[in-house]
Structure 1
């Protein structure tokens, strides 16, 4: 892939006045595909008022990797007030300006939103939030970013601006903090989890970390306790669907981070490694992997208090804890899906099939998983109304009779129709 991407660049002589700056010219099809009426209009407004605007952050990383980014953020030398004046003069609508105090203005052109943020420096940080000051210095803005691969800018003319060897690190699949790892982490302790998340996205090998980074993470792990559960869960969910998940979760336990993240302090790491091996090729939900770390439902309650997961996510992890040993394939008929389909029929809940699919991923039952995905839940053909027409009138008797008929129907592999089943009703 890198040979293809490199062909999209032309090397430009580094700026001698800023020895750390490295520039290249990008002309890939992914980059060119970003330009439409909206982006061209945005570029025209900034050019008219002589304010520079560049693509920033993750979109640059994606473009350098030969991917078309889903989201594109922009950075500029213009202040929020200057941007508002520019957009007003041009008749451009602005929306959702809650981020203005942090320098972000969102402009809407041709039915598309463009989020543009003024270059900033962190004046003061407390490990969770930062007081920022606007600047026109691109390198100072790059210095405040977390990882080298996220600190690059891309001009709308295709010029890459790389102050901290981000391109080199991306090419070599290295994940490094900008400058001092300890300083970057202490500015925002959530960067610990961002490090692991991007490691899973970028690194080729599971254990190719810089010792300085791991030392800084271990020594500052306690700082995660001050980060909101919602922010931690947002990062953790993304991490668990990336690469090297078993290694990264095990490393988090080695570095003694779990206790600050809502995960059980003595999580079952060995089971987690096996479950990841079982499920990794089948798009498991984040909770399917994390469920393996838990021993008891009480630990899930503590996790929920810390991370504030959704009701669906909490229900899934409790389901997996309860049934991971109890609901299994038959030893006599290992290829028979029936124990699982009977369970789904009996539960009568709309999402039980999805939960059982996650259970089969957890257990590593690939063949049964494929069969269950193809299986459609059959409709039980008998209702209480049918029984009342036959003279079964009390609620208790109706319920007992329906259950009896349901059991007969299941034994027939759900093949018996209404008339066949009603023939078992004694009146």
Structure 2
């Protein structure tokens, strides 16, 4: 019995529609790999099939499933069953590749489909009945934590240079021990191909790598191999990155890709802007990196100063700066002062400035730049006073700011 089907009625319906009447369908890739190495069931499950995209769509609609042509030129249709999406791709063979994309034809050969994939551990199939199908030795590699290219590593990379980054990403996520020597040597020989990739694709792989369990040591391997700077556009601070990852674990915080990217490569606003452009980061991601530049809070600050920092910067920016400063400090992971500082943003309810324009109009000011300046002076005075809400104290601040 296929245990991946347990508790997944949508997956049962998809396979029942596709795996019959002369066509085959099998679960493929990451879901099979993770199940095999005991990582449990993933939420995203990919399916490979001998049926063409048109036939997949016809069968899905006949079975009452929603079909979305998410990558029809590459043979991919996303089927939605019981509210869950399943990416279904017709078996393929590469006809032509240019290092960025491949021209493919649809096929019916499972061994040929396996041979066109990147790593052996990603070319595993699981049938509806629960049989593991392995044409390339991927099961042994997955269980050993060995990320190995299928066939000639240089050829696999030249088909798509993004596979250099995928090598490190999968090693950080699933690998044990050192990198596969043949794979690493091929990545180093073909490093020039990284410049041919779209920055959006590089961004996606990089952010996934940064949150993988072994990201710190894998980035160190990349740096030693001369492959980190071509990705970031600048040298990386691998030591600070590794320390931040340890701190996140020690504090029970989830791995955060943007914060980790900041620890790795941001010391100034210019660094943040270069990364935003170089990796095609979103505006929100770029702004968050830019907010890392400048002075950081420290345990030596008084409580009022810490709270003023949180108020002016916001919770996220305060915590990002505090955690990265903690990582750069070299302090022990259980240092009480740094732990207390990182908790300030999470625990302190940020107050709302109690004065509004109407309060200054009542004091005789008129609308215009002067009113805005008075509001700003009053807010700064209120912060410096420790965020008082006593009516008299607030009124005194307003009068002083109004001049």
With normalisation by structure 2, the TM-score equals 0.86
Of the structure 1 ranges 177-186 and 137-146, higher mean CA displacement relative to structure 2 is found in: 177-186
Long gaps (5+) in structure 2:
327-337
> Which residue of structure 1 lines up, in the alignment, with residue 235 of structure 2?
266
C-alpha distance in 1 between matches for 2:15 and 2:362:
74
Long gaps (5+) in structure 1:
1-25
User: Residue 14 of structure 2 contacts residue 60 of structure 2 at CA under 8 Å; is this kept in 1?
Assistant: no
Rate the CA distance shift 1:72–1:269 in 2: closer, same or farther, 3 A. Answer: closer
Rate the CA distance shift 1:307–1:135 in 2: closer, same or farther, 3 A. Answer: same
> Which residue of structure 2 lines up, in the alignment, with residue 370 of structure 1?
343
C-alpha distance in 2 between matches for 1:416 and 1:81:
67
User: Residue 188 of structure 2 contacts residue 225 of structure 2 at CA under 8 Å; is this kept in 1?
Assistant: yes
C-alpha distance in 2 between matches for 1:107 and 1:327:
48
Rate the CA distance shift 1:410–1:247 in 2: closer, same or farther, 3 A. Answer: same
Q: Does 1:357 align with 2:319?
A: yes
Residue in structure 2 matching 1:223, options 193, 198, 201 = 193
**1:89-238 matched pairs, under 5 angstroms:** 90=62, 92=64, 95-205=67-177, 208-238=178-208
Rate the CA distance shift 1:66–1:396 in 2: closer, same or farther, 3 A. Answer: closer
Rate the CA distance shift 1:341–1:264 in 2: closer, same or farther, 3 A. Answer: farther
> Which residue of structure 2 lines up, in the alignment, with residue 414 of structure 1?
387
C-alpha distance in 1 between matches for 2:152 and 2:123:
14
Rate the CA distance shift 1:47–1:276 in 2: closer, same or farther, 3 A. Answer: closer
Cα distance, 1:296 vs structure 2:
4.2
Rate the CA distance shift 1:337–1:175 in 2: closer, same or farther, 3 A. Answer: farther
Cα distance, 1:400 vs structure 2:
5.0
Question: What is the DSSP-based 3-state SS (H/G/I as helix, E as strand, rest coil) of the residue aligned with 1:146?
Answer: coil
What's the CA shift string for 1:308-349, capped at 9, x where partnerless? 1111111122221x22xx232263x5xx443332134345xx
Cα distance, 1:125 vs structure 2:
1.2
Of the structure 1 ranges 212-221 and 364-373, higher mean CA displacement relative to structure 2 is found in: 364-373
Equivalences, count: 385
What's the CA shift string for 1:352-381, capped at 9, x where partnerless? 221111111112233211232011110121
C-alpha distance in 1 between matches for 2:131 and 2:320:
45
C-alpha distance in 2 between matches for 1:354 and 1:158:
45
User: Residue 56 of structure 1 contacts residue 154 of structure 1 at CA under 8 Å; is this kept in 2?
Assistant: yes
User: Residue 240 of structure 1 contacts residue 289 of structure 1 at CA under 8 Å; is this kept in 2?
Assistant: yes
Of the structure 1 ranges 40-49 and 141-150, higher mean CA displacement relative to structure 2 is found in: 40-49
C-alpha distance in 2 between matches for 1:317 and 1:139:
45
Rate the CA distance shift 1:355–1:107 in 2: closer, same or farther, 3 A. Answer: same
Cα distance, 1:103 vs structure 2:
1.7
RMSD over aligned Cα atoms = 2.6
> Which residue of structure 2 lines up, in the alignment, with residue 13 of structure 1?
none
Rate the CA distance shift 1:157–1:211 in 2: closer, same or farther, 3 A. Answer: same
> Which residue of structure 2 lines up, in the alignment, with residue 338 of structure 1?
304
What's the CA shift string for 1:4-36, capped at 9, x where partnerless? xxxxxxxxxxxxxxxxxxxxxx654xx242541
With normalisation by structure 1, the TM-score equals 0.81
> Which residue of structure 2 lines up, in the alignment, with residue 15 of structure 1?
none
> Which residue of structure 2 lines up, in the alignment, with residue 312 of structure 1?
284
Cα distance, 1:259 vs structure 2:
4.2
